[in-house]
Amino acid sequence: MAEHNLLEAVNLALRHAMAEDDRVLVLGEDVGVLGGVFRATDGLLQAYGGKRVFDTPLAETVIAGVAVGLAAQGFRPVAEIQFMGFIYPTIDQLVNHASRLRNRTRGRLSCPMVLRAPYGGGIHAPEHHSESTEAMLAHIPGLRVVIPSSPRRAYGLLLSAIRDPDPVVFLEPKRIYRAFKEPCSDDGEAWPLDRAEILRRGTDVTLISWGAMIRECLTAAEQLAGDGVETEVIDVATLAPLDTETILTSVQRTGRVVIVHEAAGNGGYGGEIAARIAEEGLYDLEAPIRRVTGYDTVMPLPRLEHLYMPNVPRIVEAVLACLTPA
């Protein structure tokens, strides 16, 4: 089985989806001739032609609006926004049209579109290129928010997102676009949406995260294992709708929780996860829930970015604090 990095896995999934369904279209700024700012769509124009892969003006509102219109007419558009920092003009289309088209038309129309965007920090980019505002999108009813953490999951989750009958925002952690490779078969097998995955079993504490922070959590878990601490690591994968059941079942086993994300702590999605645990699993907890997050400030780009991002020492410190009797 060939090995691919996350970026290559995205390209592989797009190729597979376009080959199996001629309703799948790819659009966005520079996705055609250039192959995307990160080359995620490289070669698609040559393979499928200008009627199915086309460049758009530098107008994110237009990109999202065209995608909504195409989806309403039976196509399955995959629209790329070059960076999450540029996603804000699409909110009007996502909130007022894509997310509620099924309800507004009483099921007569649906909106099977995917909005892809690289997100998060870790590559020392300039301003507006390192946002992590997934909580804002997860707050929109009727919109799925999916974030892969590895090449295999990127391939399978993107195929599921494209095949889904409703709108999906697919956020790709660019910090790990080319960070590592793993075996990834182009077999067309979709990864289930709306389901968290336990990547590592443990009995002492549950680590919950998504995207690029999963690697930090797994590394922290390995380090903690050397000290006799068995950590369970959960990849949320789909933030909305959230797989609460998998999380609560894990909390029943461990009794302790640390939630990790690179977005700012204030209003971050970790707070939603903590609230659900408090509402439905409070009596399983043996210690307060802890969060390891970015700071409540604009990311200090580019030189101090590494101080903003959650890291292994901060995660280990939070886990040990959970295990320390009050």
State the catalytic residues: 129
3-state per-residue secondary structure call for the chain: CCEECHHHHHHHHHHHHHHHCCCEEEEECCCCCCCCCCCCCCCHHHHHCCCCEEECCCCHHHHHHHHHHHHHCCCEEEEECCCHHHCHHHHHHHHHCHHHHHHHCCCCCCCCCEEEEEECCCCCCCCCCCCCCHHHHHCCCCCEEECCCCHHHHHHHHHHHHHCCCCEEEEEEHHHCCCCCEECCCCCCCCCCCCCEEEECCCCEEEEECCCHHHHHHHHHHHHHCCCCCEEEEECCEEECCCHHHHHHHHHHHCCEEEEEEEECCCCHHHHHHHHHHHHHHHHCCCCCEEEEECCCCCCCCCCHHHHCCCHHHHHHHHHHHHCCC
